[in-house]
Amino acid sequence: MKNISFTIDGRECTSVKGENLIEAARQNGIFIPTLCHFKHLNPIGSCRVCTVKVNGRTLAGCTIDVEEGMDIEVNTPELLDARKAILEMMFVEGNHFCPSCEKSGDCKMQKLGYEMGMRFTRFPHLFVDRIVDARPERIVVNQNRCIKCKRCIEEVITTDGYKVFNFTNKGNETKVSIDYEQEAKLSDAQAEQAMHICPTGSILVKGKSFSKPFGDRQFDLGPKGKMIRLNEVKKYKTTNKKKRIATTSLAGCFGCHMSLLDIDLGILDLIELVEFNKSPITDIKKFTQRCDIGLIEGGCCNTDNIEVLREFRKNCDVLVSVGECAIWGGVPAIRNTVPLEECLKETYLNSITSEENETIIPNHEDIPKILNKVYPNREIVAIDYHIPGCPPNANHIWNVVKSILFEEEYSIAYPEFKYD
């Protein structure tokens, strides 16, 4: 095999002729993100997260063999944005409730989200109802989390050579289905291998999940000292001399507020610098003055949430969605794949504790109406900044707040950037 040279983003690189671009780039210290690529597999080219340009033509990096003189673009702003967009598409197409996912912390897609600094998705979530198939012997297939990367289709083969997974249907209904007969033939080790090669939490082995505690999971810490690149940080102008903050919890659990308080003694320093206006922390119910920052926990699940949110928008210079619920609905949005009627009937009329004809669905002019689904805040008012996490790390929150108020430069350490 002969050595060849080519360029990546203008930098001279060398490799052996015919080497796969993903590997060749890695050898030259350049990282191209991938999800469906697996070293020894034929290129699948399905996830498109590795999209690059070769001599000006856009292609999936994993399908390219390097050749002499190739001019490859990897980290141009256009490509960085396109790759991030594809990842965001995966998040909105499925139903990825990280805090309740067995694979959270060990999920390659989630890790890629951290590395790309994905704080929110530019696309609205689709909330399509998808099934969880627990019929197989050992494996559970959770369609909510499947990104259709095809890894399991290509890789999970019984000892006598039969495929266990395959696509069924086409178009937006495409899904990965499992062959029960073949699955039953898998050894324990093979089943665990299937779970392992799934880049998300779609393939699980019964009795093998949640085996590691928070902090010990594969991607909890990340490379030491690694900072999350946040390349979209805008400069916000705030108006007041004495900085004022307002907070509220909409369809949330107050977990984000607890996290706010988690900076321990740091809060004493902070109180010197800022004052709180309308907030559960001060118990001020109505805005008394205009605020620099409004921190919103939770999304909108009822008419009152919408009113409060609009009130905040009117009274705050900068509005921040804090936590997954505020950003896209989060855990309360698990109901978004189920029609409201079913949810309400199940809760109030048909639950085991409700007696027939004894219970009603609450409704009164003084109580807010439940919306047909949980809406992310950015679908109601303009949101200036998003802080991910369930709940977000305290340092992450305060770093963002301080940066907005005092225009301090900041970045977020890898372990402080989480979706769970």
Taking CB under 8 A as the criterion, which residues in 161-180 touch other proteins? 161-174, 177-179
**Residues 255, 297: Cα–Cα separation, whole Å:** 9
* Dihedral-angle region of residue 49 (phi above 0 means left; psi in -120 to 50 means alpha; beta otherwise): alpha
How crowded is residue 164: how many other Cβ atoms within 10 Å of its Cβ?
A: 25
CA angle in degrees (0–180, nearest 5) for 350-356-358 = 110
- Tokens 């979530």 -> residue: 125
Q: For the segment 93-152, give every residue that binds other proteins (CB under 8 A).
A: 93, 122-124, 126, 147-148, 150
Tokens of 281: 């922390």
Q: Is 81 in the site for other proteins (CB under 8 A)?
A: yes
CB of 310 to other proteins, least distance (A): 6
**Residues 340, 348: Cα–Cα separation, whole Å:** 12
Q: Is 371 in the site for other proteins (CB under 8 A)?
A: yes
Residue placing its CB nearer to other proteins in the complex, 22 or 394: 22
CA angle in degrees (0–180, nearest 5) for 385-98-41 = 110
Q: For the segment 176-215, give every residue that binds other proteins (CB under 8 A).
A: 177-179, 181-182
- Tokens 């916000």 -> residue: 236
Contact track, other proteins, 52-71, x by CB under 8 A = ------xxx--x--------
| CB 277, CB 293: distance < 8 Å | no
Q: For the segment 299-328, give every residue that binds other proteins (CB under 8 A).
A: 303, 306, 310, 313-314, 319
CB of 37 to other proteins, least distance (A): 12
Q: Is 75 in the site for other proteins (CB under 8 A)?
A: no
Q: Is 295 in the site for other proteins (CB under 8 A)?
A: no
CB of 336 to other proteins, least distance (A): 12
CB of 91 to other proteins, least distance (A): 10
CB of 381 to other proteins, least distance (A): 5
**Which range of residues in 77-85, 203-211, 274-282, 406-414 is near other proteins by CB under 8 A?**
77-85
Q: Is 4 in the site for other proteins (CB under 8 A)?
A: no
* Dihedral-angle region of residue 338 (phi above 0 means left; psi in -120 to 50 means alpha; beta otherwise): beta
Beta bridge partners of 157: 163
